[in-house]
Amino acid sequence: MFITFLFILGITSSQLKAIMPLNKHPEYLTHINNALVEGNINTPARKAAFLAQLAHESGQLRYMKEIASGEAYEGREDLGNNQPGDGKLFKGRGPIQLTGRANYAAAGKDLGLDLVNNPELVETPE
């Protein structure tokens, strides 16, 4: 029961540091734990996969904005990038590296934020 209780609580700051020792953004811990609950990430395998994806996408929570220019996403209709400059404007941001106009629009709708007109908000923990 104790292990289950700890799992429900999410991960601790020391666990996050052990998983992502290069982490520069510990302020994301609360949001990561909220995402575990909201995303029904409720098994050790799901939790491991989610944290591994975050670590991979953000360089262990070091980069909240993709290092590359975003030109590779220019004109990518599968990402909803249908306007000139969309590739650079909607390049990967945040711990999961949200990418593409369509994904920014969908995430913004779910969060109640205008991420299409304010894409830099994805780089912030709030």
pTM over 0.85, yes/no:
yes
pLDDT in tens, 7-40: 556 899 999 999 999 999 999 999 999 999 999 9
Closest alpha carbon to 12 in 38, 37, 30: 30
Q: How many residues does the chain have?
A: 126
Q: Could you write out the DSSP letters of every residue in 44-64? A: HHHHHHHHHHHHHHHTTTT-S
Domain boundaries, the chain: 2-58, 71-123
Annotated catalytic residue, options 27, 38, 57, 123: 57
Scanning 59-100, the segments in alpha helix (DSSP H) are: 86-89
Residue reference for tokens 């999961």? 96
Domain 71-123 falls under CATH 3.30.20.10: yes
Catalytic site includes residue 123? no
What are the backbone dihedrals phi and psi of residue 31, each rounded to the nearest 5 degrees, phi first? -70, -35
- List, for residues 65-120, the tens digit of each pLDDT value: 999 999 999 999 999 999 999 999 999 999 999 999 999 999 999 999 999 999 99
- What sign has the CA pseudo-torsion 49, 54, 59, 60? negative
**Alpha-carbon distance 73 to 20, whole Å?**
28
